[in-house]
Amino acid sequence: MRLELRGVTKRYGSLVANDHVDLTVEPGEIHCLLGENGAGKSTLMNVLFGMVRSDEGEIRIDGEPVRFADPGEAVAHGIGMVHQHFMLVPVFTVAENVVLGFEPTRPLGFLDRRRARADIRRLSEQFGLAVEPDAVVEDLPVGVQQRVEILKALQRDARLLILDEPTAVLTPQESEALFAIVRSLAAAGRSVLFITHKLKEVLSVADRITVMRLGRVVGTTTAAESGESELATMMVGREVELVVHKGPAHPGAAVLEISGLTVADERGLVAVDGVDLTVRAGEILAVAGVQGNGQTELAEAITGLRAVVSGSIRLDGQELAGRSPDVAIAAGVANVPEDRQVDGLVLAMTVEDNLVLDIFDRAPFARHGARDLAAVRANAEARLVDFDIRAPSPVVSVGSLSGGNQQKVVVARELSRPVKLLVASQPTRGLDVGSIEYVHRRIVEERDRGVAVLIISSELDEVLALGDRVAVMYRGRITGVVDPGAGRDRIGLMMAGVDATDGDRPGPEAPGPPAVAGDGGAP
């Protein structure tokens, strides 16, 4: 399919989310749409998939102008979409999920399961998907669930497949497997539109690359013609650093000592399984791992948010295991939570209130149970400058800020009181390159000030760039603590549960980690 977007414009009030966007995807082409969060990629895809009406412009398929009133019409025209959050019924089998909504039936309306299975086997073999039609979706690793989504689109004869941030939930090995599938789809003449903000992926998979910024197309290029730093420059409009500049660490005494820590998840299953970890003053320990291998629960246990089954968490000798968040805060633990919008901020409240969310009842922000609003305002004005938070005023709601500025509010708050240990989970998730750089620099500054830093991230690049030491977590255990110089491949294998010390096991075919000891598998 040849897809053309011409002059697509979408306005939300005064905000122009898409400003005369032109984009052409040739048959059999892997076309990457690259851009920061908020660049307008999602809006464009929603227009293309019939979920949002554009204000101007047209869509042509093989030269014919089309208009989609809803996703069903887009599907009927051969467009398939794999969302970032899978749209699968966990308790159904692969076959049932694939045919859901488009069920092949026999006379009298009975479901034709045999035909459904046969379709899936055929497609699965043709494109190397390796999916078993009778497997129950919730038992499958995330990478395989994603392939079920791809199958769904193929079964509906999608000739253009849109993949929205498909690697966010995958291990490096699973990502490689996905790229192979994408290439085989393209080889069979199907077009793929691959949305991402990860530069390395773009360069390894794309035939052509279109970069978007602030709702506009900045340019279209090919992988051969451009390198990472050129693409990054196009994305943010200026030269950006992809490496974190930091000097060598000067580790001091152990600040955080975790021994034999076992933590259960909501379902009572072991999520953190006998973990021992030490973080010293003035060093950054980065915990790598695919999400859902116990990192979240580890961070929650340290910050007092989650009960501990056994083991101890000592901060400068003070036992924190099983204590409450306010004890951890008082002891000097700063917490940049994984999901800033859920755990870090009260979106409906103002920036100034969010900046004192965990110290609102202490001097100078309160006296005798009454808040000192002037002190709160003064604090906010100072932080907005210190942390370069772009907010029109301290009294706008924090929810109206961009993701990067929201995260800066969280970081500013957590670092605005005396801190011994900084726990930061996915500190740059969903941020633009400029904000990533800024947050990384602040974290390194804290380290150099003698704070013990524990970073939890599923972005391997971030782990390698920030960590002085890297601990890899898999299924609730630390599979090893290595130097960041150990290399992406070795750490990637450790993340997938392959013991990197016995090197005789094959790499790419290594089984993906069954979704999670901890979070119920499918998102």
Residue choice 69, 108, 224, 342 for contact with another protein (CB under 8 A): 342
Q: Which stretch binds another protein (CB under 8 A): 109-117, 328-336, 427-435, 508-516?
A: 328-336
Q: Which stretch binds another protein (CB under 8 A): 67-75, 211-219, 352-360, 461-469?
A: 352-360
Shortest spacing between CB 402 and another protein, in angstroms: 12
Q: Which stretch binds another protein (CB under 8 A): 77-85, 126-134, 340-348, 469-477?
A: 340-348
3-state SS class at 113: helix
Q: Does 385 bind another protein (CB under 8 A)?
A: no
Q: Which is nearer to another protein, 63 or 369 (CB)?
A: 369
- Using the 8-state DSSP alphabet, how is residue 511 labeled? P
Nearest partner of 334 among 303, 297, 377, 367, judged by Cα: 303
26: tokens are: 């040739």
Shortest spacing between CB 305 and another protein, in angstroms: 6
Q: For residues 414 and 523, what is the distance between their CA atoms, to the nearest angstrom?
A: 29
Q: Which of residues 109-168 bind another protein (CB under 8 A)?
A: none
Residue choice 266, 326, 386, 499 for contact with another protein (CB under 8 A): 326
Q: Does 358 bind another protein (CB under 8 A)?
A: yes
Q: Which is nearer to another protein, 144 or 336 (CB)?
A: 336
* Radius of gyration of the chain from its Cα atoms, rounded to whole angstroms: 24
Shortest spacing between CB 12 and another protein, in angstroms: 11
Q: For residues 89 and 85, what is the distance between their CA atoms, to the nearest angstrom?
A: 12
Q: Which of residues 286-325 bind another protein (CB under 8 A)?
A: 303, 305, 324-325
Residue choice 361, 445, 448, 499 for contact with another protein (CB under 8 A): 361
Shortest spacing between CB 350 and another protein, in angstroms: 7
Q: Which is nearer to another protein, 18 or 425 (CB)?
A: 425
Q: Does 335 bind another protein (CB under 8 A)?
A: yes
Q: For residues 278 and 295, what is the distance between their CA atoms, to the nearest angstrom?
A: 15
152: tokens are: 């769904």
Contact residues for 374 (Cβ-Cβ < 8 A; gap 6+): none
CA distances from 53 to 8, 40, 43, 56, 164 (A): 10, 14, 10, 9, 19
Shortest spacing between CB 365 and another protein, in angstroms: 8
Shortest spacing between CB 416 and another protein, in angstroms: 13
CA distances from 22 to 33, 66, 111, 216, 479 (A): 12, 15, 42, 9, 47
Residue choice 89, 91, 130, 346 for contact with another protein (CB under 8 A): 346
Exposure string of 40-70, with b = 16+ CB inside 10 Å and e = fewer, is bbbbbbbbbbbebebeebebebeeeebebee
Shortest spacing between CB 332 and another protein, in angstroms: 13
CA distances from 200 to 34, 37, 95, 410, 468 (A): 11, 17, 34, 28, 23
Shortest spacing between CB 140 and another protein, in angstroms: 29
Query: Which x/- pattern over 364-383 shows residues binding another protein (rule: CB under 8 A)?
Result: --x--xxx-xx-xx------
Q: Which is nearer to another protein, 337 or 484 (CB)?
A: 337
Q: For residues 374 and 392, what is the distance between their CA atoms, to the nearest angstrom?
A: 18
Residue choice 165, 265, 297, 353 for contact with another protein (CB under 8 A): 353
Shortest spacing between CB 360 and another protein, in angstroms: 5
Q: Does 386 bind another protein (CB under 8 A)?
A: no
Q: Which is nearer to another protein, 13 or 107 (CB)?
A: 13
Number of Cβ within 10 Å of residue 487's Cβ equals 13
Q: Which of residues 390-409 bind another protein (CB under 8 A)?
A: 392-397, 399-400
Q: Which is nearer to another protein, 100 or 366 (CB)?
A: 366
Q: Which stretch binds another protein (CB under 8 A): 192-200, 255-263, 386-394, 509-517?
A: 386-394
Q: For residues 123 and 115, what is the distance between their CA atoms, to the nearest angstrom?
A: 12
Q: Residue 246, class by beta-carbon neighbours within 10 Å (0-12 exposed, 13-18 middle, 19+ buried)? A: middle
Shortest spacing between CB 368 and another protein, in angstroms: 9
Exposure string of 198-211, with b = 16+ CB inside 10 Å and e = fewer, is bbbbbbebbbbbbb
3-state SS class at 115: helix
- Asked whether the beta carbons of 365 and 371 are under 8 A apart, the reply is yes
Q: Does 352 bind another protein (CB under 8 A)?
A: yes
- What's the chain's length in residues? 523
Residues that bind another protein (CB under 8 A): 303, 305, 324-326, 328-330, 335, 337, 342-350, 352-353, 357-358, 360-361, 366, 369-371, 373-374, 376-377, 392-397, 399-400
